[in-house]
Amino acid sequence: MADSIFLLGLCLIPALSSVITALAPVRGIGKISTVLSGVLFVWALSHWGGADRYFSFPWFEALGLRYSLHLDSYSYLLILLSSLLGLLCSFYASWAVKDKAKAYHSLFHALQASIIACLLAEDLLFFYVFFEAMLIPMFFLIGIWGGKNRLYATMKFFLYTFAGSLFMLIGLLSLYVIYYQQTGEWTASFPVLRDYFSQFPIAFSTEKWIFLSFVLAFAIKVPLFPFHTWLPDAHTEAPTAGSVILAGILLKIGTYGLMRFALPLFPESAMAFATPLCVLSVLGIVVGAIVAWRQVDMKRLIAYSSVSHLGFVTLGIFSMTEIGWNGAYLQMLSHGITTGALFFLVGFIYDQRHSREIEAYGGLAHKAPIFVVFFVVSSLSSVGLPGLNGFVGEFLILLGSFQSVLVDPFWVVVATTGVILSAIYTLHLIQKICYGEVKREAVGVVDFGRREWLLYSPLVLLMFSIGLYPSWVMDSIYETTSLIFSMMPEAVR
């Protein structure tokens, strides 16, 4: 009963929050939304250190469909990060969003509900439903509160991700029908399908196409090179809180889907395609970093840096090693924390000066020294400076990739150049906007107040806590990673 209450609470709190904010009076809507987000965060945090939890009830038994929820360390830490970023986004929007504030907060809570339901879903059909449902509130958040090119960006975002998801639906239905043909029973339960097809594998000629249908959907969501072109436009035009939740959590649903579903279901196909997928990951690392270096808009620079950093995550996943997977998961969390902070910081100066042009700023260290301290720490975390959270994950990914029999060491060496390129474009950005003479847009910038301290401090504390003592995360995910690999063929282990 306790498991059921906790898991249903995770799903229902943000869903009810969406309804409450839609019906609440406009006056004080920001405070109401922040309190509701705080309730979700506290509810999620209350499970810290707990065991796996399950909940299931029949939905359409004739077709073998059950609403099944499963919480383990992989899903829990992402839900905890989502609830923290959601709380910070609601707090930020309480003063930053004034136009159609009720609709904004209601849609944001609906997005949170879809994310958490997706992370908890154990039935593949329900995972697909919530995987798609996330697009709807994000579509409106960008399309209504975004920048001047918001309609183009939101349509591109929607069409890319929706089209990719349809391939996953085809693969899912194929699994569903094949299982029925072989057993005479219907099911879309991931554990049942995984255990059955591990004993009675699908013919490789069929399995590889189902595997690629899942990979395509998740690769677009990540996004993996060359499916990344929707991301810079979406980030640039999204409102600040939209960019934070998009970078912090939505992109991670793609990498989570690879680790949770695609590779455990199809380990033989994963091994067969691991090498080209690792090459695409490395190309994403290098190309994303080079293009980020050439950007003149701060949000586009951070967006392309995300393509590069998430290339490291997919490299760790497709290395098919436990060390690589642990590093990939840690890097997922670290990227969400660091990139979320950077988008908040860019939003801080954009709200004051309505410009994100790098060359328009300069000398912010003279005008807003506290802002610069937070910005430099977050940027160095993104680079992967030892002592901050970005370092540990990248180190483990590169170590796991070097140990992998599926990855040519040449490509791992190429991937390490991404670390160097990251340092180049990040230090270039810091030098341009923080130091030198005070330029026109920097003149009117006002430094942090109390609310900014409250907003940014939790993220910076997490950067240091993971960077200096990563064991509190690594110990949580080690058992889940080991369990997944224990179910894979001997060749993978």
CA neighbor of 84 nearest in space, from 124, 56, 112: 112
Domain spans of the chain, in order of start: 273-493
pLDDT at 36: 95
CA–CA separation, 328 vs 317, rounded Å? 6
Q: Angle of helix 2-23 relative to helix 29-45, nearest 10 degrees?
A: 170
Q: Is the dihedral of CA 340, 148, 294, 298 positive or negative?
A: negative
Predicted confidence at residue 26, as pLDDT, reads: 83
Handedness of CA 478, 124, 336, 424 (dihedral sign): positive
Residue 318 confidence (pLDDT):
92
Element (H, E) at 13: helix 2-23
Structural contact between residues 362 and 437, judged by C-beta atoms closer than 8 angstroms: yes
- 271 within 8 A of 492, measured Cβ to Cβ: yes
The position carrying tokens 């130091």 is: 435
Instruction: For residue 58, report the phi and psi dihedrals to the nearest 5 degrees.
Output: -65, 140
Secondary structure (H, E, C), 352-377:
HHCCCEHHHCCCHHHHCHHHHHHHHH
Contact 43, 60 (CB under 8 A): no
Predicted pLDDT at 463: 94
Q: What is the pLDDT of residue 492?
A: 55
In tens digits, the chain (493 residues) has pLDDT values of 667 888 889 999 999 999 999 998 888 898 999 999 999 999 999 888 766 788 888 787 778 788 888 898 899 999 999 999 999 999 999 888 888 889 999 999 999 999 999 999 999 999 999 999 998 999 899 988 888 888 888 888 888 888 888 999 999 999 999 999 998 888 888 999 988 888 888 888 889 999 999 999 999 988 898 888 888 888 888 888 888 988 888 888 999 999 999 999 898 898 889 999 999 999 999 999 999 888 888 989 998 998 999 999 999 999 998 999 999 999 999 999 999 999 999 988 888 888 888 888 888 888 888 999 999 999 999 998 999 998 999 999 999 998 888 888 999 999 999 899 999 999 999 998 888 777 776 677 788 888 889 999 999 999 999 999 998 888 888 888 888 888 776 555 5
Instruction: Determine the distance from the C-alpha atom of residue 382 to the mean position of all C-alpha atoms in its chain, rounded to a whole number.
Output: 15
Joined tokens for residue 192: 């049942």
- With vertex at residue 334, the alpha carbon angle to CA 50 and CA 265, rounded to the nearest 5 degrees, is 65
Per-residue pLDDT at 301:
92
**Looking at residue 464, what is its pLDDT?**
94
Phi-psi region of 100 (alpha: psi -120 to 50; beta: other; left: phi over 0): left
